[in-house]
Chain A
Amino acid sequence: MTQTLQLKINGSDLRLDLDDPRATLLDVLRERLGLTGTKKGCDRGQCGACTVLIDGRRVNACLALALSHDGAQITTIEGLARGEDLHPVQAAFIADDGFQCGFCTPGQIMSAVALIAEAEAGLDPERIREGMSGNLCRCAAYAGITEAVLDATRALALEEERAA
């Protein structure tokens, strides 16, 4: 039975017909929409490589059955940059060497964007590490990741200050 799914992905409204309800949001993003920035790592909610924002909150897309999220607003790594300008979190990951192989990086960045928006960790490295603990990095770039989140937190605060 074909079922219809409406999603707003990175600002665009989409209407999709799904003929198989088994698709996760991760499958839809990668296989149907070609948004392959979001990675499939463990496919069971243990690694965080598939982290996206659903209605502004970070979620593991591999655990999200697509049909259960009808009507949701999704932001993926492809939706962060503003034109040619990288999002401050993306820029900070480059500046601070927050990765080596890069496979976990889109998930790390989406998780970091949400962590900073949650405003729970501030500039405390220990709380940042805890807040990022659902995102594994097998290259162990954790030191650079923590630095990147710290720098991005400062950059976003500065941006907000200037806008005010």
Chain B
Amino acid sequence: MKPPPFDYQLADSVSQALDLYARSEGDALWLAGGHSIVPSLALRLQAPSLLIDISRLPELMGITLTEEGLRIGALATHAQILSDPLVRTHAPLLSEAAAHVAHPAIRNRATFGGNLVLADPASEFPAVVRCLDAVFDIVGPEGARQVGVEDFFLDLFTTALEPGEILRSVLIPPAPASLRCGFDELARRHGDFAMVGAAVWLVVAEGVTTEARICFHSVGPTPMRATLVEEALRGRPLAADEINAAQAVLGNDLDPADDVTLPGATRLHLARVLLGRILHRLAGQTAMETAA
């Protein structure tokens, strides 16, 4: 066994979990699917004295439709996100992206909430929930609080979640009428982390884009909104000339750094190709039916 020594305790309720954390004096980590923590412990990147297992907390489970939108429990697995009919109907961007997240065996155990709080900039779900304007339902020693996605992803592997807080669920607001959305990514091998990926969320009324949210992953320290591209699309027809113009301004939104795998300029080029590909696909698509 390679990890540094730790104790393990299974929590039966959120309040018990918070209590265990308080007693550890901050020297504990939450364990849900364990698909990031177990390897990071084996690599000795972290050394908590206690793992608090929150993988059986009913308060963190379930996918339900409420008046405020679709509420997804933090313990939903990637496999559930991929196959759940409510997600498919009310947040199709998430189902579409889930097919690109890791491989089937990983999806069966890794959790949606765990993925979001890790905030890996190469991961798909953070970019998608930013596109969907999600709200994070967080509980901690001071009680519950709600954090909007624009205030959640702060930096590389850094979120607004404070030590000792638990992400309970994520709320996806209702999809508007005339929504068109698409996700795609470029990866060397299907299921591997992408070189670049994009989530596009558009409201298109009578051929004209009225609202746009576009978010990329693997191009910066956090999921990156392309606000200038959104501006270039808004109020204009969704057609070839406008798509070209949107692709042209992407370089003002994104400035990916060079790294060992790719030069930044290549990554930007790939992002532009991907943006064009998704927008052309959406231009050819009639407005999807929404049950909202």
Residues of A within 8 A of B (CB): 1, 3, 20-24, 27, 43-45, 48, 51, 54, 57-60, 62-65, 67-68, 70, 111, 114-115, 118, 130-131, 133-135
Contacts and interface: CB of A to CB of B under 8 A. Distances in A.
Contacts of A20: 1, 5
Interface stretch (B30-38, B137-145, B174-182): B30-38
18 contacts: A1-B7, A3-B8, A21-B8, A23-B1, A44-B43, A45-B106, A58-B104, A60-B105, A63-B34, A63-B35, A65-B38, A67-B10, A70-B10, A115-B104, A133-B103, A133-B189, A133-B190, A134-B103
B242 interface: no
Contacts of B104: 58, 111, 114-115, 118, 131, 134
B53 interface: yes
A60 B8 CA distance: 20
Given A20-B5, A63-B106, A65-B53, 16 more contacts: A3-B8, A21-B51, A22-B41, A43-B39, A44-B39, A44-B43, A58-B108, A59-B109, A60-B109, A63-B109, A65-B31, A67-B8, A68-B8, A68-B10, A118-B104, A133-B103
Interface in B9-56: 10, 31, 34-35, 38-39, 41-43, 51, 53, 55
Contact of A44 (B1, B42, B102, B190): B42
A65 B39 contact: no
B6 interface: yes
A134 B31 contact: no
A21 B31 CA distance: 13
Contact of A22 (B3, B35, B53, B102): B3
Given A21-B6, A45-B106, A67-B53, A133 B191 contact: yes
A48 B189 CA distance: 15
A112 to B, nearest CB: 11
A9 B53 CA distance: 22
Contacts of B2: 43
Which of B42, B79, B190, B191 has the largest count of A CB atoms less than 10 A from its CB?
B42
Contacts of A64: 34, 38, 109
Interface in B138-159: none
A45 B108 contact: no
Nearest to A65: B34
A27 B3 CA distance: 13
Contacts of A62: 38
A51 to B, nearest CB: 5
Contacts of A115: 104
A72 B60 CA distance: 20
A22 B106 contact: no
A36 B258 CA distance: 43
A133 B50 CA distance: 34
B186 to A, nearest CB: 16
A134 B105 contact: yes
A51 B103 CA distance: 12
B3 A60 contact: no
Contacts of B5: 20, 22
Interface string B87-109: 00000000000000011111011
B1 A45 contact: no
With most chain B CB atoms within 10 A of its CB, the pick from A20, A51, A54, A63 is: A63
